[in-house]
Amino acid sequence: MALSKTSRQYIAFMATMNLGFYVFQSYYIFFLTANGLTFTDISLIFMGNFLALALLNFVAGNFADRHGRKKAILLGGLINVIGFVVYGLSSSLLLFLAAEIILAGSSALIMGSVEAWFVDELNAKKRLSEASKAFPANSSISNILGILGGVMGSLVAAYALNLPMLAGAVLVGVATAFALLFFTENYGERGSRFSGLMKESMAHVRHSAALRNLTYGEMFRNSAVIVYLIVYQPYLVAIGLGQEYLGIFFSILAISIVLGNLLSVRAADRLGRHRMLAVICMMLFAAYITQPFVHDYLIAGALFAFTGFTTGLAMPPIIIWRNSLIPSRIRASTLAVLSSILNLGAGISTLALGLIIDSTSMQVAMYLGAFLALAATPFYLIAKKHEKGTRDELAETAPA
């Protein structure tokens, strides 16, 4: 695809950043359980991350809109390196919790800021339509690198289980240096106060039925995906997969997500984003209902890969859809509000998930994932019903 320099820079940054995350995540859950953490402990540190994100997103989005998206990305990258290093050198619940809170600060600064930076850079160059190509391309390339991340994780974990975390820190540092050298600065509402931006962003979410219902759907779907992220590594090892192959299986998951990314735009064009996301939720539901009856790690691995495929299908349409419903001047702040809502929901569901697994079984957690996927389905259809009203409001308030 003929993409502009801005799109290539965005993809290069995200690919390197995600490669660091993939190396980190390739042995993530297994590393925690190997250090003696129960599923309840893991759910507690996850909840700490989600709640910290929910609180910090407001500040981070305001910082990015007022003081610059590039500055927010650079600061977030440096904090991310510190978080990965703390993780790799830790072995206790409290230190892991501290590392998760550090990483929450990094994510709050980076994720909304880089999305807002990219969309507004394209908008300034009158190439906004390119986003529909760049987001799937970015997801595909980043997840192809996930294959490499899984292999790298397996190679370094053979020497020590904490080495994937430290290797991830190095790669995130490289991505941060790239942003420092090649990103230009852009801003949202530089003159607005924190309270003013937050009020406007929250008012926009409150008044936009389409954006609000889209967010509710994502809250349930994300919670369903968290079930698979927490259980797939210990579940596969429990039914016979050697732990030395977890990194390889992580690469298979990355391939599945890539395939979803590649098909997402065409599928969304044919079905419509709302119908496609509803179908994805039903696919998740089917995978979770089937998984508890499977005791062969090859078949179970195929079902988990199918779950990854649905995640790849969903990501580009969601990013494009929500950005089309947000005005540029408050983009980072509004994305922060949405992220806070999503992370509050994820924190609550994660704590419940850990308690359910430890008191019952991983199979019961999968049934919970099926329920969450089913609950998400109607919200996408309702969001589509209200989409025209939100677009009309944006057209009326857009600057001449």
Q: What average pLDDT score do residues 68-77 get?
A: 94
Report the pLDDT value the prediction gives residue 275, as an integer from 0 to 100: 93
Measured CA to CA, the distance from residue 161 to residue 90 in angstroms comes to: 11
Report the pLDDT value the prediction gives residue 86, as an integer from 0 to 100: 93
Measured CA to CA, the distance from residue 390 to residue 45 in angstroms comes to: 37
Measured CA to CA, the distance from residue 103 to residue 48 in angstroms comes to: 10
pLDDT in tens, 240-267: 888 778 877 877 887 888 788 888 878 8
- Contact between 201 and 330 under an 8 Å Cβ cutoff? The reply is yes
Q: Any alpha helices (H) in 68-162, and if so which ranges?
A: 69-88, 93-124, 131-157
Mean pLDDT, the chain, rounded, equals 86
Q: Which residue has the tokens 């589509």?
A: 384
**Lowest-pLDDT choice from 114-118, 125-129, 286-290:** 125-129
**pLDDT confidence of 11, banded at 50, 70, 90?**
very high
Q: What average pLDDT score do residues 170-187 get?
A: 94
pLDDT in tens, 344-387: 888 888 878 888 888 898 899 999 999 999 999 999 999 998 88
- Residue 171 to residues 18, 23, 322: CA-CA distances in angstroms? 9, 9, 29
Measured CA to CA, the distance from residue 273 to residue 287 in angstroms comes to: 21
Report the pLDDT value the prediction gives residue 347, as an integer from 0 to 100: 80
Report the pLDDT value the prediction gives residue 391, as an integer from 0 to 100: 64
AA letter at 341: I
- Residue burial 16-44, b: 16+ Cβ < 10 Å; e: rest: bbbbbbbbbbbbbbbbbeebebebebbbb
Report the pLDDT value the prediction gives residue 373, as an integer from 0 to 100: 94
**pLDDT confidence of 167, banded at 50, 70, 90?**
very high
Has residue 154 got a pLDDT over 70?
Answer: yes
Q: State the sign of the Cα–Cα–Cα–Cα dihedral 358, 360, 366, 371.
A: negative
Of 173-182, 229-238, 266-275, give the range with the top mean pLDDT.
Answer: 173-182
Report the pLDDT value the prediction gives residue 399, as an integer from 0 to 100: 47
- Contact between 338 and 219 under an 8 Å Cβ cutoff? The reply is no
- Contact between 140 and 18 under an 8 Å Cβ cutoff? The reply is no
Question: Which CATH number goes with the domain that contains 267?
Answer: 1.20.1250.20
Has residue 166 got a pLDDT over 90?
Answer: yes
Measured CA to CA, the distance from residue 112 to residue 99 in angstroms comes to: 21
AA letter at 154: S
- Contact between 374 and 221 under an 8 Å Cβ cutoff? The reply is no
**Lowest-pLDDT choice from 101-110, 145-154, 176-185, 282-291:** 145-154
Q: Tell me the two tokens of residue 3.
A: 């993409």
Measured CA to CA, the distance from residue 228 to residue 365 in angstroms comes to: 9
DSSP label at residue 91? -
Measured CA to CA, the distance from residue 331 to residue 267 in angstroms comes to: 27
pLDDT in tens, 187-224: 876 666 666 767 888 888 888 889 999 999 999 999 99
Report the pLDDT value the prediction gives residue 287, as an integer from 0 to 100: 93
Report the pLDDT value the prediction gives residue 400, as an integer from 0 to 100: 39
pLDDT in tens, 330-347: 777 787 788 888 888 888
pLDDT in tens, 263-302: 887 888 888 889 999 999 999 999 999 999 988 888 998 9
CA–centroid distance for 125 within its chain: 27
Radius of gyration of the chain (CA): 20
**Nearest to 111, CA basis, from 173, 64, 164:** 64
Measured CA to CA, the distance from residue 315 to residue 142 in angstroms comes to: 12
Q: Tell me the two tokens of residue 58.
A: 């407001």
Is residue 233 helix, strand or coil? helix
First to last CA, the chain: 32
Domain count, the chain: 1
The Cα angle at residue 102 between residues 97 and 105, in degrees rounded to 5: 130
Give the range of the structural domain holding residue 340, as residue numbers without chain letter: 5-184+193-397
Has residue 329 got a pLDDT over 80?
Answer: no
Has residue 2 got a pLDDT over 80?
Answer: no
Q: Which helix (H) or strand (E) holds 290?
A: helix 273-290
Is residue 190 helix, strand or coil? coil
With a CB cutoff of 8 Å and minimum separation 6, the contacts of 129 are none
**Nearest to 226, CA basis, from 372, 112, 364:** 372
Q: What average pLDDT score do residues 52-69 get?
A: 83
Count of Cβ atoms closer than 10 Å to residue 107 Cβ: 23
pTM for the predicted model, two decimal places? 0.70
